[in-house]
């Protein structure tokens, strides 16, 4: 995707300036908003490709901004949270955000998050990945209609739970999924011990799909938050 348009929603001027300068330097187009009302307006009238959204806005909770935007748009949203509290990030992700940055963040971190999100965007745009019957990502293939996953063309021996888990992650490649989102999709509920079970299934799934167990390429762990399937070359 060439020069995606990035919406920057941030009331803190120095932070906003840092983001804008970084975007300019890297030839991204951008527009800015300093509160929630402006953000919703800018998102609906300019149709940006991606948004950075500060959760602590003067007029509206950032979570409500996500909910409003999500009522008509799937545009990727990366939230910016000043609070080290994971609960905010989890709430934002469950409301439909794709990723998060914690203040203070580095320019490198900002650009890395943007790159991951833009890859997700091109994945969403190329073809509706959810409608395709075959998913490919690096050496990994999932044939949804046959219900099998393959690594380098070799069928993986996955339990039904591991397969289900892999499919949920694959269908949301590039997006951070919270523990709650995953457990609700697998078991239709969210109990405390489900998260412990999820960790166990994740470990066994990873043993089967990650060629190098010490540096996983496919599934990224977000400690205290959840997991994300990365797009691999
Ligand atoms: Ca703020």
Domains of the chain, CATH where assigned: 5-121 (3.40.50.2300), 131-229 (1.10.10.10)
pTM: 0.84
CA of 180 to the centre of ligand 1 (A): 26
CA of 11 to the centre of ligand 1 (A): 5
Give yes or no for a contact between 91 and 68, defined as CB atoms under 8 angstroms apart.
no
CA of 148 to the centre of ligand 1 (A): 46
For residue 33, what are the β-bridge partners? 9
Q: CA-to-CA distance for 226 and 224, rounded, in angstroms?
A: 6
CA of 163 to the centre of ligand 1 (A): 40
Give yes or no for a contact between 169 and 177, defined as CB atoms under 8 angstroms apart.
yes
Residue corresponding to tokens 């078991």: 187
Phi, psi of 163 (to 5 degrees): -65, -45
Mark out the alpha helices in 79-233 (DSSP H runs): 86-94, 107-126, 160-171, 179-187, 192-209
CA of 61 to the centre of ligand 1 (A): 10
CA of 203 to the centre of ligand 1 (A): 37
Is 2 exposed, middle or buried (CB count within 10 Å of its CB: 0-12, 13-18, 19+)?
exposed
CA of 49 to the centre of ligand 1 (A): 22
CA of 88 to the centre of ligand 1 (A): 13
CA of 12 to the centre of ligand 1 (A): 5
Give yes or no for a contact between 62 and 54, defined as CB atoms under 8 angstroms apart.
yes
Per-residue pLDDT of the chain (233 residues; tens, 9 = 90+): 668 999 999 999 999 999 999 999 999 999 999 999 999 999 999 999 999 999 999 999 999 999 999 999 999 999 999 867 789 999 999 999 999 999 999 999 999 999 989 888 877 765 554 567 999 999 999 999 999 999 999 999 999 999 999 999 999 999 999 999 999 988 887 777 788 889 999 999 999 999 787 888 999 999 999 999 999 98
pLDDT at 127: 54
CA of 38 to the centre of ligand 1 (A): 14
27 Cβ contact partners less than 8 Å away, ≥ 6 residues apart: 3
């Amino acid at each position: 995707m060439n020069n995606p348009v990035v919406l920057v929603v941030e009331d803190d001027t120095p932070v906003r300036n840092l983001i804008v300068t970084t975007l300019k330097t890297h030839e991204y187009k951008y527009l800015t908003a300093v509160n929630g009302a402006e953000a919703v307006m800018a998102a609906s009238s300019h149709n940006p490709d991606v948004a950075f959204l500060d959760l602590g806005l003067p007029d509206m909770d950032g979570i409500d901004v996500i909910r409003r935007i999500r009522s008509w748009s799937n545009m990727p949203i990366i939230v910016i949270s000043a609070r080290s509290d994971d609960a905010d990030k989890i709430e934002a992700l469950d409301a439909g955000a794709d990723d998060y940055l914690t203040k203070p963040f580095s320019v490198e971190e900002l650009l890395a998050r943007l790159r991951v999100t833009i890859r997700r965007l091109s994945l969403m745009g190329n073809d509706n990945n959810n409608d395709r019957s075959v998913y490919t990502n690096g050496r990994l293939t999932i044939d949804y209609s046959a219900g099998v996953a393959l690594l380098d063309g070799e069928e993986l021996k996955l339990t039904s739970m591991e397969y289900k888990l892999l499919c949920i992650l694959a269908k949301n490649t590039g997006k951070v999924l919270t523990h709650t989102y995953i457990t609700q999709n697998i078991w239709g509920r969210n109990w405390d011990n489900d998260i412990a079970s999820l960790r166990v299934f994740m470990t066994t799934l990873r043993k089967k799909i990650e060629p190098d167990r010490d540096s996983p390429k496919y599934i990224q762990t977000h400690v205290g938050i959840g997991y994300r399937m990365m797009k691999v070359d």
